[in-house]
Amino acid sequence: MKCDICPRNCSVDRTKNCGFCGQSEKLRISKIMLHHYEEPVISGAEDEKGSGAIFFTGCNLKCVFCQNYPISHNNKGKYISVKKLVKIFKKLERKGALNINLVTPSHFTSQIVEALKIYKPDIPVVWNSNGYETSESIEKLKGLVDIFLVDMKYMNNDLAFKYSHANNYVENCTNAIKKMKELCPQDEIIDGKMTKGMIIRHLILPTHTNDSIKCLDWIYENLGKDTIVSLMSQYEPRYDAVKFPEINRKITPLEYKRVVAHALKLEMNNCYTQDLSSADSKYTPKF
């Protein structure tokens, strides 16, 4: 079968070849961990077990500034079966994970759906994706995923092409997010932990705060001011970012303040913000 699971629409037969994501049909994972550095409603308090994160190998974006490049670009990871993935869900549940956090899952949507149909965990399932997805593939997650933790990286297709080699990122990401909202229309947070809903993440890039502001405007106009948004300051120039002088640095306090001020001006009060000290490798798991 030719793969069209994401907007790349590579049309390769993944039983024989890999597409742009670098992965065949075989599930491949890089790391399983109890993760304490997601948003507080996902990771819980410091004395809690954290989010049960499963990092999938490969990625359909391949951003030049990728913070997880050993797994997304260099394909570090081991092959597992769908049955093994089910066992991992159960093991994370037994360890007390607050949720099952599927990190960069999009290119394995079919295999993950198969696993979740065999066993739907009792704890919330989080779809932690880059937003470059089709609304058709998101529809497959209906009733299987409880929380969408999704990136909105750009509101400008030229930037998406320059830094992520992606065509039509904006149309695909916004349609995918609208579909996610349709599947999980209501946010629910019980005792400080999210059980249902959506969080939109935006990593602010140096020099490109105008684009960050356009992302906020889109969210405000299309989803409303109560949307939960995570404004991330943790950008570090990694991987190939050195080739692009305008993004070959961390963001400045002024850049971050400008974006946060715009969110406040729109009265988007459900925004997570970060201390600028988050631009530190300790927030990125070692692979």
Residues that bind ligand SF4 (CB under 6 A): 3-6, 8-10, 12, 14, 19-21, 60, 107
- 149's CB contacts (< 8 A; 6+ apart) are 38, 39, 42, 101, 126, 127, 128, 129, 198, 199, 201
**SS3 of residue 53 by DSSP:** strand
The CA distance from 247 to 254, in Å, is 15
- Pick between residue 131 and residue 237 the one whose CB is nearest to ligand SF4: 131
Tell me 27's DSSP state. -
- Pick between residue 107 and residue 208 the one whose CB is nearest to ligand SF4: 107
Strand pairing class (51-56; 28-35)? antiparallel
CB of 154 to ligand SF4, least distance (A): 18
Q: Helix H segments across the chain?
A: 40-43, 69-72, 82-94, 109-118, 135-139, 157-164, 169-183, 209-223, 253-265
- Pick between residue 128 and residue 233 the one whose CB is nearest to ligand SF4: 128
CB of 214 to ligand SF4, least distance (A): 26
CB of 155 to ligand SF4, least distance (A): 22
- Pick between residue 23 and residue 234 the one whose CB is nearest to ligand SF4: 23
- Pick between residue 162 and residue 165 the one whose CB is nearest to ligand SF4: 165
CB of 174 to ligand SF4, least distance (A): 18
CB of 180 to ligand SF4, least distance (A): 18
Which residue matches tokens 């260099």? 74
- Residue sitting closest to ligand SF4 (CB): 19
Whether residue 132 contacts residue 6, with contact meaning beta carbons closer than 8 Å, is answered with yes
The first and second tokens of residue 231, run together, are 């404004």
CB of 287 to ligand SF4, least distance (A): 20
Whether residue 28 contacts residue 57, with contact meaning beta carbons closer than 8 Å, is answered with yes
The CA distance from 50 to 61, in Å, is 27
- Pick between residue 60 and residue 99 the one whose CB is nearest to ligand SF4: 60
